[in-house]
Amino acid sequence: MIVVIPARYASTRFPGKALADLGGKSVLRRCYEQVAQAVDTSNIYVATDDDRIMAECTRHGMRSVMTSSSCLTGTDRVAEVAERIGASWYINVQGDEPFLDPDGVTNMIAAAQHAPSDLSVINACAPIHSEEDFRSVTVPKVVRDMSGNLLYISRGAIPTTKALEFKGAHRQVGLYAFRADALRQFAAQPSKTPLEELEDIEILRFLELGFRVAMVEVHENGIAVDTPGDLERARRMLAAR
């Protein structure tokens, strides 16, 4: 079992966010250090297609793998790593989660280790506490069935009442676990699937391909840095700590 942190420079909403400064360290480095509290660094790989990110990894002793620039998503990047490095499961940690809870990584690994043979995809979620996050299009909202499996995920404000009120919700956390077979089928698609393209949320590709996606609830991780505004919020949060 290995951890892969996909990180690209050419982010649509925030180019260079992986290398953005957050309290004297890059967003990517902070994410890596959180993971390293739960996993031996010999089993952590940053997957990128950019020389600047590779240089950041080299400077700070982070293992890295250069992947294709044609990867549609971070999960496609993880799939490329899976073709080169064999493992029972691939834990995917998004590089824009600088406050990732190490216990969440531990819980995800445990969920993968105890998963039934017919389960190949696991994702994490955490409670949403503010209406601002509930309404934000940069926060994907998760809806689960009674067994805890993913029903749908959207940038829209769901679930909600007839009056569109915020009554409680969960956000997706950029923490996943995949078996190699699921990654191969995911990466075999020549383009994004329709709902994935519409919502710009890659886990939807698995739903559209018919995979069951189990959800693991983890502690709130603070802020995923998806926009310059998110970075400013993260800086305030770090300063407050």
Contact call for residues 27 and 19 (beta carbons, < 8 A): yes
On the question of pLDDT at 36 being above 80, the answer is yes
Beta-sheet pairing, 21-22 with 64-66: unpaired
Q: How much is the pLDDT for 221? A: 67
Q: What is the CA radius of gyration of the chain?
A: 17
Question: 63: how many CB neighbours lie within 10 A of its CB?
Answer: 17
pLDDT higher for 46 or 230?
Answer: 46
Instruction: Please give the Cα distance from 66 to 80 (Å, whole number).
Output: 10
**pTM assigned to the model:** 0.91
Instruction: Please give the Cα distance from 72 to 191 (Å, whole number).
Output: 7
Within-domain flag for 64: yes
Q: How much is the pLDDT for 223? A: 77
According to the per-residue pLDDT averaged within each range, which of 26-30, 67-71, 233-237 is highest?
26-30
Within-domain flag for 39: yes
Instruction: Please give the Cα distance from 179 to 210 (Å, whole number).
Output: 15
Q: How confident is the model at residue 119 (pLDDT cuts 50, 70, 90)?
A: very high
Query: Which sign does the torsion angle of CA 117, 118, 124, 128 carry?
Result: negative
On the question of pLDDT at 220 being above 80, the answer is no
**Residue owning tokens 């391909």:** 209
- What is the arithmetic mean of pLDDT over 123-130? 94
What secondary structure letter does DSSP report for 149? B
What is the average pLDDT value for the chain, to the nearest integer? 94
Q: Is 162 exposed, middle or buried (0-12, 13-18, 19+ CB in 10 A)?
A: exposed
Q: How much is the pLDDT for 174? A: 86
pLDDT tens across 45-102, in order? Answer: 999 999 999 999 999 999 999 999 889 999 999 999 999 999 999 999 988 889 888 9
Q: Name the domain count of the chain.
A: 1
Q: What percent of the chain has pLDDT over 90?
A: 83
Q: How much is the pLDDT for 241? A: 79
Within-domain flag for 101: yes
Within-domain flag for 80: yes
Within-domain flag for 154: no
From 40, 20, 42, select the one nearest 29 (Cα to Cα).
20
Residue 24 φ/ψ region, left for φ over 0, alpha for ψ in the -120 to 50 degree band, beta for the rest = left
What distances in angstroms separate CA 18 from CA 22, 25, 204, 218, one per listed residue? 10, 10, 23, 23
Contact call for residues 107 and 214 (beta carbons, < 8 A): no
Q: What percent of the chain has pLDDT over 70?
A: 99
From 121, 136, 97, select the one nearest 211 (Cα to Cα).
121
Within-domain flag for 18: yes
Token pair of 199 as six digits: 């919502």
Within-domain flag for 85: yes
On the question of pLDDT at 170 being above 70, the answer is yes
Range of the domain at 187: 2-122+174-193+209-240
On the question of pLDDT at 43 being above 90, the answer is yes
CATH number, domain of 87, equals: 3.90.550.10
Within-domain flag for 53: yes
From 119, 46, 62, 57, select the one nearest 89 (Cα to Cα).
119
pLDDT higher for 100 or 198?
Answer: 198
Instruction: Please give the Cα distance from 39 to 45 (Å, whole number).
Output: 11
